[in-house]
Amino acid sequence: MKNIWAPWRMEYILGPKEKECIFCVKPRENDDKKNLIVCRGKHNYVILNLYPYNNGHLMVVPYRHTSDVLGLGADEAADMMNMVKMCVAALRGAFKPQGFNIGMNLYSASGAGIDEHLHMHVVPRWDGDTNFMPVVADTRVIPQHLQSSYEALVGRFPPDE
């Protein structure tokens, strides 16, 4: 069995936690550029992950606060999958990845960093995008600043509906 190490995630794990749900607060602030929200839909929005596993790591988040995927309405679930498709198209256009990891971690036992508000991860991947830096240097190499990723992606989504 191989181990996958991500020691750089300790900054997030051990760092201070917000009192309110960040996935509820961020869209209410109406400062999408500061909050890295690249797209807003009817039931969900798309935000760049502040602690990405890879360059361009996006999350599709329902506006409604819920941790239970079974509690998503049909319209919310359909909108979420439509936005996942838009994420894939935007990431392909902006960064030309060779693959994607798409999925959810539901509840803390599955590894969810924020388990009180479900969200779908869309992580672009490239052949050979893993290297020795996280293991030997406790460092993750993300080749682009989050604001540059935001600028590269925000215009690739259809306008708000």
* Calpha distance 66→80 (Å, rounded): 13
Q: What does the pLDDT look like over 55-84, one tens digit per residue?
A: 899 999 999 999 999 999 999 999 999 999
Residue 2's nearest CA partner among 130, 107, 108 is 130
Cite the active site residues: 119
Q: Quick one: pLDDT at residue 146?
A: 81
Give the closest residue to 65 by CA, choosing from 122, 13, 23: 23
Query: Is 147 strand, coil or helix?
Result: helix
Q: Is residue 100 included in any domain, yes or no? A: yes
24 pLDDT more than 50: yes
For residue 75, give Cα distances in angstroms to 79, 85, 156, 158: 6, 15, 23, 18
Structural contact between residues 100 and 124, judged by C-beta atoms closer than 8 angstroms? yes
44-55 pLDDT, tens digit per residue, is 999 999 888 888
Q: Which domain holds residue 128?
A: 33-154
Task: Say if residues 116 and 108 touch (Cβ distance below 8 Å).
Answer: no
Is residue 91 assigned to a domain? yes
Q: Is residue 115 part of a domain?
A: yes
Asked if residue 5 belongs to a domain, the reply is no
**Residue that wins the pLDDT comparison between 87 and 132:** 87
Q: Is there a domain that residue 99 lies in?
A: yes
Q: Average of pLDDT values for 138-144?
A: 56
pTM for this predicted structure: 0.79
How many domains does one find in the chain? 1
